[in-house]
Amino acid sequence: MALAPPFKMTPPVLLAPMAGITDLPFRNLVASFGAGLVVSEMVASHDMLNARPGSREKAELGLGTTGTAVQLAGREAAPMAEAARMVEGQGATVIDINMGCPAKKVTQGYSGSALMRTPDHALTLIDAVVRAVNIPVTLKTRLGWDEGMLNAPQIAQRAQEAGITMITIHGRTRCQFYKGRADWVAIRQVKDAVSIPVIANGDIVDAASAAEALTLSGADGVMAGRGVRGRPWLLAEIAHRLYGTPPPRIPSGSEFAQMVGAHYSAIIAFYGETLGVRVARKHLGWYMDTAGTPQDLRRAVLTADDSRSVLRLIAMACDACPEVAA
């Protein structure tokens, strides 16, 4: 699948932006296995412009690296445009606009999926960002705010007219949050409404669910999020099964332990010892879920409070489970 120049994405299998998860160390690891595009955590435009603590870590993209997008959120056109110019100037190659986050702290600020309630206002933000930069701008939304406002097709049409080059649809409404099942069939209405690529998102956890999502939605590609936790090779596995790309080498035993240890070390280097130890725990928990680590070792890994101890325990925990689920 080719997008409007200069943005080309092959294969059309994407890593979803996830708050507190898709930081630079994790995006680098996922990209090392193979992915069409990896998207940063959502970064609030005001936070970036005001250099709020934590915004650097979220926006740190390995800027200048292809296959990476920075996701911006906001409620005012001018700050969104200025933040977009800033990340473009730092080397970003793609900007994604967040109109899909369902979190109350975001929607109460009239950002994220709350923008679907005011499409005229949302389009002022989209237009401002597209006009501010010379790189592709994409959009991520949900089906609508609730069952009474399923306006994603109309918003997608207007976004395309404003210059958006790709749109990702999470197959739920905002009011569903992550409950129930993603409605991949409903995404087809968005696909039928536009000529730009449409990406299906929601409940894509393996190659089988990705294939079904493509069939039901008619989408041009898929985006996976929660299913990638603890399985950074998942996007590459989906791409192999659906698009014939080379199969990823899925690590097990000592190789799995080495991968987890390297990711852990990258987290510590990125955040520093004190914060890094805390940030890493969720990733370690997911890795140990994947490996089926015994509870005693799991507890030891997740309660250790210094990185050297954790690295020793990682080897023990992962080597104890030589078979890792793909």
DSSP helix/strand/coil, 35: coil
Nearest one of 297, 208, 219 to 257, comparing CA atoms: 297
Rounded distance, CA 44 to CA 107, Å? 12
Residue 311: pLDDT over 60: yes
pTM above 0.85, yes or no: yes
As a whole number, mean pLDDT of residues 285-297 equals 90
- Per-residue model confidence (pLDDT) at position 320: 58
Rounded to 5°, the CA angle 52-55-58 comes to 170
Nearest one of 256, 198, 206 to 236, comparing CA atoms: 206
Residue 93 burial (10 A CB sphere; 0-12, 13-18, 19+)? buried
The residues assigned a catalytic role are: 101
18 is in an annotated binding site: yes
Residue 185: pLDDT over 80: yes
44 is in an annotated binding site: no
Bigger pLDDT: 161 or 314? Answer: 161
- Cis ω before 247 (30° cut-off from 0): no
% the chain with pLDDT above 90: 71
What does the mean pLDDT of the chain come to? 89
166, 136 in Cβ contact below 8 A? yes
191 is in an annotated binding site: no
- Per-residue model confidence (pLDDT) at position 1: 36
226 is in an annotated binding site: yes
% the chain with pLDDT above 70: 90
288 is in an annotated binding site: no
- Taken as a whole, the chain contains a residue count of 326
Q: What is the DSSP letter of 8?
A: B
**Span 40-64, pLDDT tens digits:** 888 888 877 776 555 444 445 555 5
Nearest one of 47, 142, 54, 128 to 95, comparing CA atoms: 128
